[in-house]
Amino acid sequence: MASTCPAVNGSGDSTLDYVQNFCFVVIAALAALVWSILDRKRPNYLRMNYWVRLWVRYSLAVTLFSYGFAKVFPLQFRPPGFGRLISTYGESSPMGILWTFMGASVAYTIFSGAMEVIGGALLIWRRTATIGAFFSAAVMANVFMLNMCYDVPVKLYSGNLLLMAIFLMAPELGRLGRFMILRKPTDPPPLDTPNFGRKWMRIAAVVVQVLFVGWVLYNSVSGTWKAYKGIGSAPKGPLYGIYDVETFTQAGQERPPLLTDATRWKKVLVQSPTNFAIRTMNDAAQGFGSEYDEAHHTLAVFPFGDKSKKGQFTYTQPDADHVILEGALPGGGPPLVVKLKRVDLSKFLLTNRGFRWINERPFNR
Query: What range does the domain containing 307 cover?
Result: 241-344
Q: Are 151 and 93 in contact (CB under 8 A)?
A: yes
Instruction: State residue 45's pLDDT score.
Output: 81
Task: Say if residue 184 is in the same domain as residue 50.
Answer: yes
89 within some domain: yes
Closest Cα to residue 72, out of 131, 26, 117, 119? Answer: 117
- Do residues 54 and 178 share a domain? yes
3-state secondary structure of 285: strand
If you ran DSSP here, which 8-state letter would residue 89 be given? G
Q: If you count DSSP H runs as helices and E runs as strands, how many of each does the chain have, helices first?
A: 10, 9
201 and 278 assigned to the same domain:
no
Query: pTM for this one?
Result: 0.84
Residues 256, 302, single domain; the answer is: yes
pLDDT in tens, the chain (365 residues): 333 455 556 688 999 999 999 999 999 999 999 998 998 888 888 888 888 999 999 999 999 999 999 999 999 999 999 999 998 888 889 999 999 999 999 999 999 999 999 999 999 988 899 999 999 999 999 999 999 999 999 999 999 999 999 999 998 888 888 888 888 888 777 666 666 777 787 788 788 888 988 998 888 898 898 888 888 777 888 999 999 999 999 988 999 999 888 999 999 999 999 999 999 999 899 999 999 999 999 999 999 888 888 899 999 999 999 999 999 998 877 899 999 999 999 888 888 888 888 888 888 88
Total domains in the chain come to 2
Q: Are residues 292 and 173 in the same domain?
A: no
In a domain, 185, yes or no: yes
CA angle 102, 104, 108 (to 5 degrees): 55
Indicate if 110 and 215 belong to the same structural domain: yes
CATH at 271 = 2.40.128.280
Distance (Å, rounded) from C-alpha 325 to C-alpha 39?
78
Report the pLDDT value the prediction gives residue 8, as an integer from 0 to 100: 57
- H runs (alpha helix) in 236-307: none
178 and 300 in a single domain? The answer is no
**204 and 265 both lie in a single domain:** no
Tell whether 5 is covered by a domain.
no
Nearest Cα neighbor of 75 from 290, 237, 221, 277 is 221
* Alpha helix segments (H runs only) across the chain: 15-38, 46-72, 82-85, 94-103, 106-124, 129-149, 155-169, 173-180, 199-232, 349-352
210 and 269 fall within a common domain: no
Cα–Cα distance list, 259 to 279, 281, 322, 347 (Å): 12, 5, 23, 24
